Amino acid sequence: MRTTIAASAAAVVAASMLAASSAVNAPPAVLPRDQRMRWWRDARFGMFIHFGLYSAPGGTWDGKPVGGVGEWLLLNARIDPIAYEKALVPQFNPVKFDAGEWARIAKDAGMGYVVITTKHHDGFALWDSAVSDYDVMATPFRRDIMRELSDAVRAEGLRMCWYHSIMDWHHPDYQPRREWDRRPVDPQSFPRYVDYMHAQLRELLTRYGDIGILWFDGEWEGTWNHDWGKKTDDLVRSLQPGIIVNNRVDSGRAGMEGFTADEHARGDYGTPEQTIPPNGMPGKDWETCMTMNDTWGYKSADGNWKSAQTMIRMLCDIASKGGNFLLNVGPKGDGTIPEESVARLRRIGEWMKVNGEAIHGTQASPFPRKFPWGRVTTKHPFRSGAQATTLYLHVFEWPASGSIRLDGISNEPAGTVRVLGAPARTPAAHREGSAIVIDGIGSAAVDGDCTVIAVDIAGVPAVEPFRVRPAADGTIACTAADAVVTGSIQYEDRFANLGWWRDLASSASWPIELPERRTFDATIEYAADSCCAGDLSVSVMQDGKELFPGRVQLQPRAGWGDFATVPIGRYVLPAGRSEIKVKAASKNGDSFVNLRRIDLKPVR
């Protein structure tokens, strides 16, 4: 609850002066990144909690349903921020809130951390804030939810983490304002808002013990920039040197794909949202956050729940690509987690009790692409002095043959093969040419959602690199999902395309292997807004040398989803290994094109 206005202003000024001095005098001494990331990489799986004033109405306003996600009620119903406060603060009374129950649900599901919305875009503080009276102490509930939850989460051995929104639709100094917000605007107010936000971050990072992650969000409006991001990142790390901060503390994130191309941007990991990068992001830390239905904050009308199987397989898919899975629950206004969420998490927990070793503490699959039957994660334990790697085969589609093939690996089986959850089965692994074959796995899956087979191999995995190979008819398909990209380019689920093509240095390439030299006619399937497109540079490369350059003008189209396939020339590809590489030789607008695929058709 706010102290007197003068005292709170003094608190904000003092806090920001201290913060400014620490941020200006010297960058904070933070722990080395790999040391900070270790627990997070091992956890692989966390609970996201969206809880706040919006949980009470559950997606309705004035008794009528409101479209969009539940936590965007103020915006979707175009509510005056003060009217929103006056209506919902007296309503917020989650009398059934039980922090211990929430923590147990997360623990039993096999989750290693909990990220809760301390303040979402509506600006309401779920803790007792000294610099605001728009907080949980102003409600009938009058309990510090952050205090209770952080104690309960730690008691279960999990890490407590804070989500905090930069965007604040309620605070008078935040800009831009919502267009229906008629309060007077002081054009110079944004720095005051940042001081206020820093004061609240100081409260959250000095009162509630060790915090695992500061999960920023709402950084996309033009008032936030790299300078504010740097100052905020420095402040957070000066208060908790071991903390992890996501990439949304800074500006420049490329949409829901979640990565920031700028190498100077702050943030420890990328944050794909509602999407899983098709081939992960090799060498980068990232975490997909996902709803169980279609809303983050509770919505009574949203019954579009994902199945537990879907989410178990998402967890396996994400872990096989070296990412983390932050799965969301949106508790109801009474403080309980919806039964649909609890039931799914209970099932996920049952699966994790048998198969958690294939998720926790694992690294990405060594294979360049996923197998049709499922996914692979790895663990590098040292056993009896000899280094062995455990491959965990996450089998979604159980083979009737009772055997599984791992093509393109040269390691020798190291003896132990287990079917998790079926200790009586006695599978065995042997080599067949360039593959390891696992037999005797049984004619039926142990778990229809996913059965895991643990296979030890000698040494560190040595697998054949990914190559695009010709189909039976000689055609070669270079798809967006298979591209090796550099610079700002990112894969976009929306149209299964490469997007965010922002500069002439960025490139997309496909490693190709041919049995003999051949000539091909090439086509590109692309889309571009009317402002954009430009000249495409096409190169056939071998051993870093350009063999056959091409340059083709791509015409603008009607939009980023308006795809067309056009010829881009005739190219000769050498026998053996080569690559097709494309870049923007020129571009008319901010972005170049959305590229869906390049096809090579052999010239008879």
Distance of closest approach, residue 165 Cβ to ligand FHN, in angstroms: 7
The dihedral sign for the CA sequence 214, 198, 74, 332: positive
Closest CA to 511 of 482, 552, 545, 480: 482
Among 85, 122, 203, 217, binds ligand FHN (CB under 6 A): 217
Q: Which residue is nearest to ligand FHN (CB)?
A: 296
Helix (H) or strand (E) holding 44: none
Distance of closest approach, residue 268 Cβ to ligand FHN, in angstroms: 16
Give the number of other Cβ atoms within 10 Å of residue 88's Cβ. Answer: 23
Contact flag: residue 53 with ligand FHN (CB under 6 A): no
Distance of closest approach, residue 217 Cβ to ligand FHN, in angstroms: 5
Contact flag: residue 219 with ligand FHN (CB under 6 A): no
What would the DSSP string read from start to end of 271-288? --BS---BTB-TT--BEE
Contact flag: residue 273 with ligand FHN (CB under 6 A): yes
Window of 69-77, 126-134, 136-144, 178-186 that interacts with ligand FHN by CB under 6 A: 69-77
Distances (CA, A) of 154 to 148, 201, 210, 246: 10, 20, 9, 21
Distance of closest approach, residue 295 Cβ to ligand FHN, in angstroms: 9
Contact flag: residue 289 with ligand FHN (CB under 6 A): yes
Contact flag: residue 116 with ligand FHN (CB under 6 A): no
E-strand stretches of 515-558: 518-528, 534-542, 545-554
- DSSP state letter for 516: S
Distance of closest approach, residue 300 Cβ to ligand FHN, in angstroms: 17
Among 69, 204, 239, 457, binds ligand FHN (CB under 6 A): 69
Per-residue x/- mask for ligand FHN, residues 348 to 387, rule CB under 6 A? ----------------------------------------
Contact flag: residue 296 with ligand FHN (CB under 6 A): yes
Q: Is 59 left (phi over 0), alpha (psi -120 to 50) or beta?
A: left
534 vs 502: CA distance, rounded Å: 12
Omega before 176 cis (within 30°)? yes
Window of 66-74, 150-158, 186-194, 538-546 that interacts with ligand FHN by CB under 6 A: 66-74
472 vs 450: CA distance, rounded Å: 32
Give the number of other Cβ atoms within 10 Å of residue 53's Cβ. Answer: 27
Distance of closest approach, residue 74 Cβ to ligand FHN, in angstroms: 11
550 vs 440: CA distance, rounded Å: 52
Of 311 and 422, the one with the shorter C-beta distance to ligand FHN is 311
Contact flag: residue 233 with ligand FHN (CB under 6 A): no
Q: Give the pairing type, strands 113-119 and 45-49.
A: parallel
Give the number of other Cβ atoms within 10 Å of residue 22's Cβ. Answer: 16
Bridge partners, 418 (sequence order): 454
Distance of closest approach, residue 289 Cβ to ligand FHN, in angstroms: 5
Give the number of other Cβ atoms within 10 Å of residue 49's Cβ. Answer: 22
Distance of closest approach, residue 232 Cβ to ligand FHN, in angstroms: 17
Of 269 and 392, the one with the shorter C-beta distance to ligand FHN is 269
Distance of closest approach, residue 72 Cβ to ligand FHN, in angstroms: 6
Of 249 and 420, the one with the shorter C-beta distance to ligand FHN is 249
Of 132 and 271, the one with the shorter C-beta distance to ligand FHN is 271
Q: Taking each helix axis as running N to C, give the angle between helix 5-25 and helix 190-206, from 0 to 180 degrees, rounded to the nearest 10.
A: 80
Window of 35-43, 67-75, 180-188, 433-441 that interacts with ligand FHN by CB under 6 A: 67-75
Residues lying near ligand FHN in the complex (CB under 6 A): 69, 71-72, 217, 273, 289, 296
